[in-house]
Amino acid sequence: MSTDVAAPADADQAALRSTLPPTRPSGVPLRVVDLFAGIGGLSLGLSQAAAAVGRPVDVALAVDRDPAALGVFSRIFPSAEVTTEDVTALVDGTLGAVATPAERALRRRVGDVDVLVGGPPCQGHSALNNATRHRDDRNELYLRMARAAEVLAPDTMVVENVPGARADRSGVVDRTVAHLRGLGYGVSVEVVDLSDLGVAQRRRRLVLLATRRVPVSLVDVVHRHQRPTRGVAWAIGDLADVESDRLVDQRARSAAATRERIAYLFDHDVYELPNELRPACHRGDHSYVSIYGRMRPDQPAQTITRGFYSMCMGRYVHPTRPRTITAHEAARLQHFPDHVDFSSIRKRGQLALAIGNAVPPRLTEAIGAEVLASRRDAS
């Protein structure tokens, strides 16, 4: 197994700030299928891990219902086939059943697959979804990953979701684990805080890693690829005064009342807004102190969501400037390097959704490095 030594902070930071897309390696390609792909964080992380050992990534297929997100994916992976087809139409069979015509067509379409990744929609499991949490129909999409593994037979599969997925009343995670083990996979399931891997953000995610031949533990992945805890300033300190015509660098047009609340945080050098200055619906006894809060430069950000333009959605006020963070800064806090091109998205809401829903590529960079090392050591 790998004994990866944490890279110097300045090397990681330089990679994050790089505006030059990496050169494609010349080795044997790692073939990837990305379901519920978004802007491509899972595939990008794999490409970073593969590049470190001289292998390129070929994305045989990327699927997502959001065409704006896929526009960004296509700029990261120009040769990838991307589609807004429904995953449930592409992978429509029952677990354990003979492949359907659609599934046989999918196999022909993508060919051999080394790695299958996916981040099924997590809103059904989210702690913010009080109406249907743990019994939402979207939760069943998790099982489509198990069926896709059965159909495509990848060597490795990674599934990312929120920790609440394990509390689903139909047991989608446990059913997926049991099915994968029945197919011969070694399975590791853990809640991973991405800040442990060097992402300047507290982002706890339930990660499932399934591997053939050589089992790989997510505990080992985190241990071997751990980075120092990084604050917001580490990720975005150089962007504080950046202004440009690009949508990613444009600042939110905050209402007068919001500007007054932000000014109070800076005038009094505080990080939480007093109750009396909050709207009536956000006063009283509550545990949401981060809402209307200012980021601390020496601490990781809270989880980045689509609401990062608004201080009423979380602790999204810039640590040193009287404004909320930009999309560029949110992307950095999601650990997306500057060479990722968001210019295909022309609407602020679409951009916020694409970035907020993304998976920090650092997750699969660490997993991919460990899996590739385990295969090399076993050969």
Confidence of residue 131 (pLDDT cuts 50, 70, 90): very low
pLDDT for 132 equals 42
In angstroms, the CA 257 to CA 173 distance is 44
Q: Taking all residues of the chain, what is their mean pLDDT, rounded to a whole number?
A: 92
* Same domain for 236 and 201: no
pLDDT digits (tens, 9 = 90+) for 76-114: 999 999 999 999 999 999 999 999 999 999 999 999 999
Confidence of residue 287 (pLDDT cuts 50, 70, 90): low
Residue 250 per-residue DSSP state: P
Q: What proportion of the chain, given as a percentage, has pLDDT over 90?
A: 85
Q: Is the pLDDT of residue 223 over 90?
A: yes
Q: How many domains does the chain have?
A: 2
Q: Which positions ≥6 away from 74 have C-beta within 8 Å?
A: 80, 82, 344
* Same domain for 158 and 214: yes
Is residue 373 in a domain? yes
Q: Is the pLDDT of residue 147 over 90?
A: yes
Active site residue 281: no
Annotated catalytic residue, options 69, 122, 301, 353? 122
Confidence of residue 290 (pLDDT cuts 50, 70, 90): confident
What is the arithmetic mean of pLDDT over 210-235? Answer: 96
Range of lowest pLDDT (46-50, 138-142, 147-151):
138-142
pLDDT for 213 equals 86
Domain that holds residue 320: 232-356
Tell me which residue has tokens 């067509």.
105
Q: Which amino acid is at 321?
A: R
* Same domain for 133 and 20: yes
Residue pair 192/205 in contact (Cβ under 8 Å)? The answer is: yes
Helices 67-76 and 348-356 cross at an angle (nearest 10°) of 70
Is residue 261 in a domain? yes
Q: Is the pLDDT of residue 281 over 70?
A: yes
Q: Is the pLDDT of residue 6 over 90?
A: no
Q: C-alpha angle 131/69/319, rounded to 5°?
A: 75
* Same domain for 314 and 210: no
Give the pTM. 0.92
Is residue 206 in a domain? yes
pLDDT for 122 equals 66
Query: 350 versus 126: which is more confidently predicted?
Result: 350
Q: Is 54 exposed, middle or buried (0-12, 13-18, 19+ CB in 10 A)?
A: exposed
Is residue 4 in a domain? no
In angstroms, the CA 300 to CA 232 distance is 5
In angstroms, the CA 239 to CA 185 distance is 44
* Same domain for 123 and 257: no
* Same domain for 238 and 180: no
Q: Report the candidate in 138, 155, 122 with the shortest Cα–Cα distance to residue 30.
A: 155
CATH of the domain at 64: 3.40.50.150
CATH of the domain at 249: 3.90.120.10
* Same domain for 159 and 40: yes
What is the arithmetic mean of pLDDT over 282-287? Answer: 66
DSSP string, 289-307: TTTT-B--TTS-B----TT
Q: Which positions ≥6 away from 269 have C-beta within 8 Å?
A: none
